[in-house]
Amino acid sequence: MKLLNNILILVALLVLVGACRDKLDLYPESSLTEGAFYNNETQFIQAVNDAYRQLGILYDAGGIPDIFGELASDNVYIKAASGADTYPEDINLHHIKSDNGKLESAWNKAYSAIYVINNVLDQLGTTDVNFSSQELKSRLISEAKTIRALFYYNLTQAWGAVPFPLKVVSPSESYGYGREDLPVIYAQLIQDLQEAKSNLPTAYSGSDVGRVTSYGASAVLAWIYLADGDKAKAINELKEIIDAGNFSLDANNDGTINSSDYAYLFLATTKNAKESILEVQYLAGENQVNSHHQTEYAPWDFAFHLPGNSVTFRGNGLNTPSNGLIAEYELGDPRKDLSLSLGFYDLQTNNFISYPYTLKFYDPNYLYPGQNVEIIRYADILLLYAELTGDPAYLNLVRARVGLANYGSSAYPSTTYSNLQGAIAHERRVELAFEFHRGFDLNRTGKTTLKFPIPQSVIDTNPAITQNP
């Protein structure tokens, strides 16, 4: 989807406007306010575009998927950091306190976005604007609800039961929101996503490419079913995506499936490839919707420079590939060199500095990177389907793309990965490294039971919200 360069940023807290309505009936026509917006179809499309911008914030560095999916997992560690605070290290080492500023920021950004999305949905539900078609209005509602479901999925995975507002609430009303039971949250999200599937198209064209399709909603629905413990329904959603034939491991769509397709996925210029089911849309350039992954994850070293570039580019040193992850790659797996570098050369001394970093967010436009970021891609669906059904054929499709031996063959490293579930966990770790899945996978398969502490500032503001054990 081509995000507008000048997306109108909707007001996050419009309480003051509402409080003044009895005294102030006229809005200056030159100002963007609640009263001067939502007056036509174009403005509603812009408002839903802003929901996509919120999704970009969620999946940017420092969002819940990054913190829970990678930073808190065994995929990464922090080799060196600026030392301004120990919040990232505390998360990585699971020494997390309730006053952790990084967690508090991720929580606040998520609920700020939910406020924006709820506002859009409230306006769509009450507007008297005549849309060009009812299908468009229903589609916009479904896009917004699917994006909201992704926020709540991430919140519940990281914190468990959480406050669950589905409408715009005032400060006084917010005190009535404690932590909602997970079955209640999941039941509502399932209902929203089932409705979304019926109202969303299977594909888009032109500038709408990148918006949520019915298959994107189906993939999120599969995640929710798994979180709710309904394996059979999750399998049905995954099978529906696979059987549709709309997606392929031939990411570059050249008619041949091989490791070049894996490389293609992470080029800075790749947008919405054949394998993409749902991805965040970023834009390169000044004053655009940029990604911050490369800056956050690049080595914190004054000698660091990006590949092929002599300009010093010291990053913030987060999500350094762990020794365990590096060792996980099989000999000859091309994904290792496509996913990470083991270090770099100091251009002043010509000495090699052993400091691993991920290449999946490499963008030569280091000041204003615009690489899209995958949320759900076809390989993820295939591997999850193999995990749930116990059918290794779908695992072997992913392995065949990069030229590795099939599970079950004599060449497969069965002494290391002796059963199918172990083989799939291994494959997901290397296939999806740095794509924010590892922590969720460990939680889903019972290898960890990590839940973050509720930010203390939230509890201080609303004592009805209880703390995790």
For the chain, how long is the longest CA-to-CA vector?
79
Please state, in angstroms and rounded to a whole number, the distance separating the CA atoms of residues 431 and 437: 10
Q: Which residue has the tokens 């420092």?
A: 62
Q: Which residues contact 356 (CB under 8 A, 6 or more apart)?
A: 79, 320, 321, 326, 340, 341, 342, 343
Q: Cβ distance 318 to 355 under 8 Å?
A: no
Instruction: Quick: pLDDT tens for 227-284.
Output: 999 999 999 999 999 999 999 999 999 999 999 999 999 999 999 999 999 999 999 9
The one-letter amino acid code at 467 reads: Q
Of 169-173, 337-341, 398-402, which gets the smallest average pLDDT?
169-173
- Give residue 81's pLDDT: 74
Q: Which residues contact 321 (CB under 8 A, 6 or more apart)?
A: 75, 76, 340, 356, 357, 358, 433, 434
Beta-bridge mates of residue 357: 341
Please state, in angstroms and rounded to a whole number, the distance separating the CA atoms of residues 196 and 140: 9
- Give residue 376's pLDDT: 98
Instruction: Quick: pLDDT tens for 174-183.
Output: 889 999 999 9
- Give residue 171's pLDDT: 87
Confidence of residue 35 (pLDDT cuts 50, 70, 90): low
Q: Cβ distance 117 to 148 under 8 Å?
A: yes
Please state, in angstroms and rounded to a whole number, the distance separating the CA atoms of residues 396 and 420: 11
- Give residue 33's pLDDT: 56
- Give residue 18's pLDDT: 34
pTM of the full predicted structure? 0.92
| Per-residue tokens: 78 | 């922090």
> 178, 66, 181: which is closest to 467 by C-alpha?
178
CATH class of segment(s) 1-193 = mainly alpha
> 149, 124, 142, 172: which is closest to 18 by C-alpha?
172
Q: Cβ distance 75 to 322 under 8 Å?
A: yes
User: For helices 214-227 and 231-244, what crossing angle results, to 10°?
Assistant: 160
Domain boundaries, the chain: 1-193, 293-358
Please state, in angstroms and rounded to a whole number, the distance separating the CA atoms of residues 414 and 419: 8
Instruction: Quick: pLDDT tens for 299-317.
Output: 999 999 999 999 999 999 9
Q: Which residue has the tokens 């290794």?
A: 392
Confidence of residue 82 (pLDDT cuts 50, 70, 90): low
Average pLDDT over residues 426-440: 98
- Give residue 423's pLDDT: 98
| Per-residue tokens: 166 | 């589905």
Please state, in angstroms and rounded to a whole number, the distance separating the CA atoms of residues 295 and 105: 18
Q: By CB neighbour count within 10 A (0-12 exposed, 13-18 middle, 19+ buried), where does 20 fall?
A: exposed
Please state, in angstroms and rounded to a whole number, the distance separating the CA atoms of residues 443 and 355: 28
If one counts every other C-beta atom within 10 angstroms of the C-beta of residue 230, the result is 15
- Give residue 85's pLDDT: 87
Q: Cβ distance 146 to 128 under 8 Å?
A: no
- Give residue 34's pLDDT: 62
- Rg (alpha carbons) of the chain, rounded to whole number: 23
